[in-house]
């Protein structure tokens, strides 16, 4: 210290520190107000930007106040250098955390825009966050005067040992990256595995894929298993799909009338029921002469996989009522059983076993 600290120095330093604190609080209130207005817009980028500013601006104002207070005091060169370096490290940490939050938010926003659902692929967000934090940590070490070259060498050697010890974990990690990069499965898709598990993909993280069944239960599938099994994706290449429903009418039915009535019911269900495809072209295809009926297939269109249950429900109800009104019969299987009295049963080639067997000449 070159001279004695005076009251004037303390007042100036305290005023600078108080100004930094007040500025940080005012900016935080202003950014909170801005954040409420950003939530009302459709663009998610302003939400990410305001969230990042709320994290970095108050801390930057406080750091500026501390720097101004330190400059107002008559500090010696070593102490001033230490204070400046500490403030610089604090600012780097704040910027690093903010950058990690912003980039992670952008990655999540991109995942949401591609899948169209609230869930996101956290594997990319986690990898991005780790990379940004690691870069910020290295910058902090460099600022403190610590050489990072030996650390990078140690990390390279240690990384090989960790890779050998975590083969299964790394296999799941790269399998998840491959699944998302190839766009075979995205959050929001409805999938069915050859092993029988099916449901909506909620998330693909660094180790497993989370699938929510229609019963609202969660199925956890390792990424390597998902990448190596046969799978049906009911959402790709498009979300709309067609379903087949088997129907049968009596042999004395007028098939032209059956086709016309069934087509009208299909059109009404597609337009009136939530989940139907209004652009679907009704189709009825006769295909079988059965034991008691003429069988045909009804082709229905649905907006997405889970809509098929509601569409089938409404279609069967309306078709049954319409067939009753039109006099069209849906026969039930009939069998004729003939019963005989015991004395009427004749056993062929019956003979008396007590009679002697004639000798063979």
Measured on CA atoms in the order 178, 180, 184, 185, is the torsion positive or negative?
positive
Task: Please give the pLDDT value at position 271.
Answer: 92
Task: Please give the pLDDT value at position 325.
Answer: 93
Return the bridge partners of 43, or none: none
Lowest mean pLDDT segment, chosen from 7-21, 25-39, 109-123, 257-271: 109-123
Task: Please give the pLDDT value at position 288.
Answer: 92
Task: Please give the pLDDT value at position 315.
Answer: 94
Q: Which residues of 158-174 are buried (b: 16+ CB within 10 A; e: fewer)?
A: eeeeeeeeeeeeeebbe
Selected residue with higher pLDDT from 223 and 86 = 223
The residue among 277, 278, 286, 275 whose CA lies nearest residue 313 is 275
Q: What is the pLDDT of residues 193-236, one digit of tens each?
A: 988 889 999 888 878 889 999 888 999 999 888 888 888 999 88
Task: Please give the pLDDT value at position 120.
Answer: 46
Task: Please give the pLDDT value at position 157.
Answer: 60
The DSSP line for 230-282 is -EEESSSS-S-EEEEEEEEE-TTS-HHHHHHHHHHHHHHHHHHSTTB-TTPPP
Place of tokens 């004695």: 4
Mean pLDDT, residues 47-62: 71
**Coil/strand/helix, residue 275:** coil
Per the prediction, the chain carries an average pLDDT of 78
Checking if the pLDDT of 107 tops 60, the result is yes
User: Given pLDDT bands bounded at 50, 70 and 90, which one contains residue 249?
Assistant: very high
User: Given pLDDT bands bounded at 50, 70 and 90, which one contains residue 104?
Assistant: confident
Q: What is the pLDDT of residues 286-335, one digit of tens each?
A: 999 988 899 999 999 998 888 999 999 999 999 999 999 999 998 887 66
C-beta separation of 235 from 188 below 8 A: yes
Checking if the pLDDT of 31 tops 60, the result is yes
Mean pLDDT, residues 24-47: 71
User: Over pLDDT 70: what percentage of the chain?
Assistant: 73
User: Given pLDDT bands bounded at 50, 70 and 90, which one contains residue 119?
Assistant: very low
């Amino acid at each position: 210290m070159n001279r004695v600290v005076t009251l004037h120095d303390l007042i100036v330093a305290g005023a600078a520190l108080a100004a930094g604190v007040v500025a940080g609080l005012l900016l935080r209130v202003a950014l909170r107000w801005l954040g409420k207005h950003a939530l009302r817009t459709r663009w998610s980028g302003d939400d990410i930007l305001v969230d990042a500013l709320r994290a970095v601006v108050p801390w930057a104002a406080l750091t500026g106040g501390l720097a101004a207070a330190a400059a107002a005091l008559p500090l010696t060169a070593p102490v001033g250098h230490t204070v400046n370096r500490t403030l610089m490290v604090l600012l780097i940490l704040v910027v690093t955390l903010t950058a990690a939050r912003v980039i992670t938010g952008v990655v999540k926003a991109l995942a949401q825009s591609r899948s169209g659902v609230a869930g996101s692929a956290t594997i990319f967000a986690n990898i991005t966050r780790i990379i940004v934090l690691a870069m910020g940590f290295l910058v902090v070490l460099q600022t403190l005067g610590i050489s990072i070259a030996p650390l990078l060498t140690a990390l390279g050697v240690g990384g090989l040992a960790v890779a050998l010890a975590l083969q299964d974990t790394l296999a799941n990690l790269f399998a998840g990256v491959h699944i998302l990069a190839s766009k075979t499965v995205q959050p929001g898709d409805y999938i069915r595995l050859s092993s029988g598990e099916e449901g909506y993909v909620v998330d693909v993280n660094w180790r497993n894929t989370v699938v929510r069944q229609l019963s609202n239960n969660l199925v956890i599938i390792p990424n390597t298993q998902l990448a190596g099994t046969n799978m049906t994706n009911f959402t790709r290449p498009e979300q709309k799909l067609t379903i087949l429903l088997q129907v049968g009418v009596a042999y004395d039915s007028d098939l032209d009338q059956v086709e016309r009535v069934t087509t009208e019911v299909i059109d009404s269900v597609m337009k009136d029921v939530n989940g139907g495809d209004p652009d679907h072209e009704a189709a009825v295809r006769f295909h079988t002469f059965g034991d008691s009926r003429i069988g045909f297939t009804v082709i229905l269109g649905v907006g997405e996989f889970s809509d098929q249950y509601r569409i089938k429900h409404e279609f069967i109800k309306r078709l049954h009522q319409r067939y009753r009104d039109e006099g069209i019969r849906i026969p039930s299987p009939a069998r004729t059983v003939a019963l005989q009295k015991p004395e009427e049963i004749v056993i062929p080639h019956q003979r008396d076993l007590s009679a002697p067997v004639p000798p063979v000449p």
